[in-house]
Amino acid sequence: MYFENRTQAGQILAAELLEKYHYEDCAVVALSDGGVIVGEQIAAALHCILTMLLVEEIAVPGEGVSFGGVSQNGNFTYNGMFSAGEIEEYNSEYHGYLEEQQRQAFQRINRLLGDGGLINNDMLRDRVVILVSDGLTTGASLDVVVDFLKPIRIKRLVVATPISTIQAVDRLHILADELHILDVKDNFLGVDHYYEQNDIPSHEDTIAKINQIVLNWQ
């Protein structure tokens, strides 16, 4: 399945979610800049808050595999696809490197956050949380999000995305209560490939917009 742009994909997902969640107390949480564009359509349809969780993934050197990710509370979460033995092996081999990458990732998040904070627990507590991405390649970022949400009491965890890999879907079945995925790709060619238009604002502009939405909502 191909989409004209992320707005169109978001509108399709919004129509799918509207019937079930129109009268629920929801919060839409985007996982990327492109996810914000998709999530805007869902939040508008459900008349609910739209916010964003900043996640910085850290890759294993030379392997192109996510080792895990750092969220905006500073916690590091391992990629749930790794076994305990693999984690121990990577930690032993890349200990100094991984520690430094985590430190740098948290610094980048803090610079972007500024005074806004994007998410506080009250925005999500006792709500249906709808996590939105413009395309999921792995479940690694979702592991970080689930870890972030652990101390927060929520009603339900829903994941909505236009496209996903089979690997990510397998992981999502474990992590989420409900999935809304428009297309699952066996041979995934990269998120941008499935959109005819790929006009995404800069990361800084996206975060500034989200912070303004959050301030208006409060």
Query: Would you kindly state where each structural domain of the chain is located, as residue ranges?
Result: 6-55+116-217, 58-113
CB under 8 Å to 141, separation ≥6 — which residues? 31, 55, 57, 66, 69, 133
How far apart CA 50 and CA 170 sit, in angstroms, is 26
**Is residue 38 predicted with pLDDT exceeding 60?**
yes
For residue 187, how far is the Cα from the chain centroid?
Answer: 21
| Beta carbons within 10 angstroms of residue 149's beta carbon | 20
DSSP codes joined into one string, 82-142: S-HHHHHHHHHHHHHHHHHHHHHHHHHHHHHHTTT-S--HHHHTTSEEEEE-S-BS-SHHH
The phi-psi region of residue 133 (left if phi > 0; otherwise alpha if psi is between -120 and 50; otherwise beta) is beta
How far apart CA 118 and CA 133 sit, in angstroms, is 17
Ranked by mean pLDDT, the top range of 31-40, 63-72, 110-119 is: 31-40
What are the φ/ψ torsions at residue 176 (nearest 5 degrees)?
-110, 160
More confident residue, 131 or 118: 131
**Is residue 117 predicted with pLDDT exceeding 60?**
no
**Is residue 114 predicted with pLDDT exceeding 80?**
no
pLDDT of 39: 96
The tokens for 150 are 């652990």
Instruction: Decide: pTM greater than 0.85.
Output: no
How far apart CA 14 and CA 159 sit, in angstroms, is 12
Average pLDDT, stretch 56-75? Answer: 76
Render pLDDT for 139-170 as a digit per residue (tens, 0 to 9): 667 888 888 888 899 999 999 999 999 988 98
The fold of 6-55+116-217 is Rossmann fold (3.40.50)
pLDDT of 70: 79
pLDDT of 57: 78
pLDDT of 21: 96
pLDDT of 180: 97
| Beta carbons within 10 angstroms of residue 175's beta carbon | 18
Crossing angle (nearest 10°) for helices 166-175 and 140-149: 20
**Is residue 15 predicted with pLDDT exceeding 90?**
yes
